[in-house]
Amino acid sequence: MKTSLGVIRACAEGLQDEADEEKKQRYSEIILSETERVGGLITTLLDLSALESGAASCGYSRLLFYIAV
């Protein structure tokens, strides 16, 4: 998570100083993808916390695997 935040910060700083529109677009894309990544990590951590505290439980189901020939 710390790496993603560092990337977001660096790109945001780059946006402030950059005149080239292509680079600004690229920085914006990186910021969006990294914020999605951090959001996913946070969701996973919240899910894990709920499981550990007993607020949520895992459901088990039977999986059937078929071999296609």
Domain residues for the domain of 32 are: 2-53
Tally of domains within the chain: 1
pLDDT at 1: 67
Give the residue, 28 or 61, on which the prediction is more confident.
Answer: 28
Position 67 in a domain: no
The whole-number average pLDDT for the span 5-13 is 89
Question: How far is residue 66's CA from residue 4's CA, in Å, rounded to a whole number?
Answer: 39
Whether residue 67 is predicted with pLDDT greater than 70 in this model: the reply is yes
Position 10 in a domain: yes
Structure confidence by residue, pLDDT tens digits, 24-45: 899 899 999 999 999 999 999 9
Q: What is the pTM of this model?
A: 0.66
